[in-house]
Amino acid sequence: MKIAAFVLVYVVAVLPHTVYAQRTNQDERQAPPAVQACVGCHGSRGEGNPDAGSPRIAGQSAYYLLKQLNSYANQSRRDRVMEPIARGLPPEVRVDIAAHYASLDAPFDERARSQRPSERGRVLANDGDNALGVPACRNCHGPGGVGEPPNIPYIAGLDAAYHTAELTAWKQGTRTNDAGQQMFRVAAALSAEDISAVAQYYASLTPPKPAPLNLLQAPSPPKKMAPATTPTVQPEGHRERSVGVEQAAPMKGGTQGVGGTDASKGSLGGRGKDASEIGTPNSPPKTDGSKARPTTSRTEWPRLSDADTSWVSSRELVRGGDPARGRAIIAAGVHGCAACHTIPGIPSPNGIVGPRLDGLSRRGFIAGQLPNRPDVLVAFLQDPPALVPQTGMPNVGLTGEQARDIAAYLYSLETSSAP
Amino acid sequence: MAGARAELDAILIGVGLVGTMLGRELTRAGLRVVGLERGAPRHTVPDFQEPQMHDELRYATRKALMQDNTKETYTFRHTIKDTALPIRRWASFLPGTGLGGSIVHWNGQTFRFQDDDFQQHSRIVARYGRKFIPDDVTIQDWGVTAAELEPYFDRFEYLLGTSGKAGNLKGKKIPGGNVFEDPRSREYPTPPQKEPYGSAIFRKAAEGLGYHAYPQPSCNLSQPYTNPEGLTLNTCTFCGYCERFACEHFAKSTPQTILLPVLLKDPNFELRTGCQVLRVNLDNTGKTATGVTYVDASGKEIELRASLIIVGAYATNNTRLLLLSKIGAPYDPETGKGVVGRNYAYQTMSYPQVFYDESININPFMRSGANGTMIADFAGDNFDHGPLGFIGGAYIGEIMTNGRPIGFHPTPPGTPSWGAKWKQAVVRHYNHTSTINVHGSSVATRGNYLDLDPTYKDAWGLPLLRMTFDFPQNDIRMSAYCTRKAIEIGKQMGGKLVTGAPRKGPYDITEYQTTHNTGGTIMGTDPSISVVNRYLQSWDVSNVFVIGASNFPQNASYNPTDTVGALAYRTADAIVTKYLKSPGPLMNK
């Protein structure tokens, strides 16, 4: 029975892809004749020709390429050259051409790579712009612009002039072939300089390999609904204990925190080791240099009213910390502190990734959000992501003792007069 | 400290939905306002962007956007006979924290409560008689009507840009919308989102049974929309990361996308984040608030004075803050006296599932948080309860918010909960299962309430809020009836198997149900059974206004946010047009 079911699944789900893959591989060797209409500009391998304003199309999904051909044909995407060509191709030939170029993996011409990727372009691509209401390009086009086939194209390695022209077309409303108007909204908010910056940035990146073959197919038409069979209804009172429920989406396993959803493991309201007393957060911080990760000490910080939080006495509070030893640990370079931070008393590289660390004791926060207190700093240094999950600062493997020494050194630094 | 500023007119406690709305209305009226937010500042860019925002482990499992319950949580018990214990890990409901509040991680399901809901007590008595209300049920009227709230609902929905289809325009019923709704003055600002395949199957089945199917109103927008504040939202991309997540696309209506950028530019407004308000301070008469005391992020305790206080924290935290500030008499379940903490209510959920054969592809990952087709035929008092013997109801719909990889693993009963067989079942059913949402009302009862815990304290040494709650018998009967109706629809949807059971007690705090915690600072016209008057002004301290789902005397079948927004706009209106001209009680006791 199990084997029969497996065979069925294989026949239904896997075999068509295999057949398709074989066909596609064959096509790679033997391009459909109509491709002759394309190679003049896009190249026999789909590498494109920047001088002719023709983009790279190798390895874009068949779904996407077919959609563009159809868009040229119905003028939801405008181009003097492409419109008549697309209109002249019978629908089934468009399908063949799209499948052909989707299967190709043209080498990326390094000469086409943008040499001057702008910082503004990088920010727009990866972060967006809050004031403009522009989300990051990579939300949809993927990290590094590799796309999300079948429906979202890669934009990495596209020629900057082509990319600029397309974003401008979205902005001006001459390209309208996205149903949700996402591209229109984004492009409309961008200035000509922003558009150019984004295009330059993506032109500096390497395009991806073709998507897996099973993603190359255009979506199949929906199948007819199966006839209703006799449903069986679970008797009332049935209750699966281990089902956690997202709103309208019951689910099993893992979702309700570490330890999963097995209700047999705990009683209502709390379970497991973490049932430490939240009402008594007064035990001292564990900064004894042991190997224990400092994550759980979060609940054990001294009550705020008990701690002297003024910066003046901060350095005294790093009990047992030796500023000279701390400086030596940083200067040794083993933990890479200066790669990201500029730290007085430590020779270059004077990193600019993280904040300058002079005058640290005068600041209100660590990592922009933790109270700047010695015990917190010591815990943070040992495992930054444990306390601030979003921080870019990695765990560099400091022991409790090393962290205390470094904290002592950092609190000894005065504000630098240098710019 | 505040010393640098000469005079402060108003303090917002919490800068979430309510805080942002009131901040905007009060600064526009010329007031100098400080917003105190306990969490971090955060914005769509850069804080909500991918790939980190789609980290399901971090946000859905570990609940990164929620109130930090290592510092501040609630204790819970089922009845006054039990000993409450702290909730160490959020599960049943998820109070948010941070700029923008809980609405940052909402699903965007946007309903107006009906007139029957606002006048539930008198309507039930008029239709079924006084004896129809069980002895322990303490439902009451809100002191407002749907007609009074209509302009505020309308204004709020046009701020949000809600995508939906009207079912009643100025009294004219419109098939395809919610024909049970009260008259609305105009159509929704944007058309409904696209109907997913599973919802289309539901529509066909429900309409075949004679019910009135309509698209769920959504704040994940169906098209770009520029609201009256000049802010533009984008079209939702159906990524399936709404609930528990923030939207990276500027496509979900939240303070960050609908209002905050305007408020933050206002020179009359100052935002202070990382500020935990400990209490509202009163003068020696106890009848006037002088300001608040808060702890800033460096641990300094600061007193800030102002002439008007807006309490707009998460619903349950509103109650706690009043109790900590000694504003209003705490509710006592033994005597029924006192008001603060009274009528805590929730939502009574159940989720039948329809398992199809492999020819039906549901694509659950291609959804938004409010993207489905539903019926309101069994919501509220839209059907005859006479022979049924319970109050309230549920809306029923094929509403699936996501198909995320860690969380969504539908398997039929009898499947092992781990191992190879479980994996096979997940692969088999993942793309071929519909979930039906039975979103039920929650009556208030004498024994369900909120107070301060006698034992457990928060990181600032203050008592935690104690929650005493279990499902009332009335709601269990309601759920049995409405779930049966949902299963009947499910049987018509063509699945091979329909599973599902109604909600039963005891209430399980370790299972997610909804984040619709209501009551505790309820509104009304009688100060002996309400905390705030019909303008959400404290009966006891007239320069304190308390706004949120904590004002609901009991919870209706629909999701609460639209009603919270309408109440907030109405209160802002009352403050600006009435209170500021003549500060003092807006209603006589």
Task: Give catalytic status of residue B43 as yes or no.
Answer: no
Closest-CA distance, B588 to chain A, in angstroms, reads: 41
Give chain A positions within 8 Å (CB) of B353.
250
Closest-CA distance, A347 to chain B, in angstroms, reads: 31
Cβ neighbours, 10 Å, residue B589: 9
Using alpha carbons, select from B120, B510, B421, B273 the residue that is nearest to residue A267. Answer: B510
Identify the closest residue of chain B to A229 by CA–CA distance. Answer: B496
Q: By the CB < 8 Å criterion, does A236 face chain B?
A: yes
Identify the closest residue of chain B to A123 by CA–CA distance. Answer: B46
Domain boundaries, chain A: 21-108, 111-212, 294-411
* Domain spanning B2-579, CATH architecture: 3-Layer(bba) Sandwich (3.50)
What predicted TM-score, i.e. pTM, was given to this entire model?
0.79
Q: Which CATH number is A111-212's, of 3.40.50.300, 2.40.30.110, 1.10.357.10, 1.10.760.10?
A: 1.10.760.10
What pLDDT tens digit does each residue of chain B (589 aa) get? Answer: 444 444 799 999 999 999 999 999 999 999 999 999 999 999 999 999 988 999 999 999 999 999 999 999 999 999 999 999 999 999 999 999 999 999 999 999 999 999 999 999 999 999 999 999 999 999 999 999 999 999 999 999 999 999 999 999 999 999 999 999 999 999 999 999 999 999 999 999 999 999 999 999 999 999 999 999 999 999 999 999 999 999 999 999 999 999 999 999 999 999 999 999 999 999 999 999 999 999 999 999 999 999 999 999 999 999 999 999 999 999 999 999 999 999 999 999 999 999 999 999 999 999 999 999 999 999 999 999 999 999 999 999 999 999 999 999 999 999 999 999 999 999 999 999 999 999 999 999 999 999 999 999 999 999 999 999 999 999 999 999 999 999 999 999 999 999 999 999 999 999 999 999 999 999 999 999 999 999 999 999 999 999 999 999 999 999 999 999 999 999 999 999 999 999 999 999 8
DSSP codes, A257-309: STTTT-GGG-BTTB-STT---TT-TTSPP--SS-SS-GGGGGGGSPPGGGS--
Tokens of B306: 């102002």
Residues A337, A351: Cα–Cα separation, whole Å: 8
Answer for the pair B573, B588: CB distance below 8 angstroms, yes or no. Answer: no
Cβ neighbours, 10 Å, residue A59: 25
Residues A300, A1: Cα–Cα separation, whole Å: 56
How many interchain CB pairs under 8 A, A with B? 278
Amino acid letter, A268: L
Using alpha carbons, select from B554, B390, B526 the residue that is nearest to residue B469. Answer: B554
Closest-CA distance, A348 to chain B, in angstroms, reads: 30
Name the residue among B236, B361, B512 with its Cβ closest to that of A244: B512
User: How many Å is the maximal CA-CA distance in chain B?
Assistant: 72
The 8 Å CB, 24+ separation contacts for B383-388 are B385/B127, B385/B128, B385/B132, B386/B127, B386/B128, B388/B477, B388/B481
Name the CATH topology of A21-108: Cytochrome Bc1 Complex; Chain D, domain 2 (1.10.760)
> Which secondary structure element, helix H or strand E, spans residue B215, and what is its range?
strand B213-215
- Residues, chain A: 419
Residues B527, B546: Cα–Cα separation, whole Å: 15
pLDDT band, very low/low/confident/very high, at A355 (cuts 50, 70, 90): confident
Phi, psi of A174 (to 5 degrees): -90, -15
Q: Is the peptide bond before A149 cis (omega within 30 degrees of 0)?
A: no
Q: By the CB < 8 Å criterion, does A220 face chain B?
A: no
Domain boundaries, chain B: 2-579
Identify the closest residue of chain A to B414 by CA–CA distance. Answer: A240
> Pairing state of beta strands B437-440 and B289-295?
unpaired
Closest-CA distance, B359 to chain A, in angstroms, reads: 7
Give chain B positions within 8 Å (CB) of A145.
none
Using the beta-carbon criterion (under 8 Å), do B504 and A237 form an inter-chain contact?
yes
Q: If contacts are CB pairs under 8 Å, which of residues 371-400 in chain A contact chain B?
A: 371-373, 389-390
Give chain A positions within 8 Å (CB) of B399.
247-248
Give chain B positions within 8 Å (CB) of A263.
508, 510-511
Strand runs (DSSP E) across B296-422, as ranges?
A: 301-305, 308-311, 342-345, 348-350, 353-355, 372-375, 394-399
Q: Which CATH number is A294-411's, of 1.10.760.10, 1.50.10.20, 3.40.50.300, 3.30.1440.10?
A: 1.10.760.10
Three-state DSSP at A14 gives helix
Residues B453, B474: Cα–Cα separation, whole Å: 27
Angle at A303 between CA A299 and CA A308, to 5 degrees: 130
Answer for the pair B106, B243: CB distance below 8 angstroms, yes or no. Answer: yes
Strand runs (DSSP E) across A66-179, as ranges?
A: 128-129, 134-135
Answer for the pair B65, B242: CB distance below 8 angstroms, yes or no. Answer: no
A294-411 shares the fold of A111-212: yes
Answer for the pair A211, A60: CB distance below 8 angstroms, yes or no. Answer: no
Q: Is the peptide bond before B410 cis (omega within 30 degrees of 0)?
A: no
Residue of B70, B264, B295, B457 to mutate for A, most A C-beta atoms under 10 A:
B70
Residues B160, B257: Cα–Cα separation, whole Å: 9
Strand runs (DSSP E) across A65-213, as ranges?
A: 128-129, 134-135
Pick left, alpha or beta for residue B17 (phi over 0 → left; psi -120 to 50 → alpha; otherwise beta).
Answer: alpha
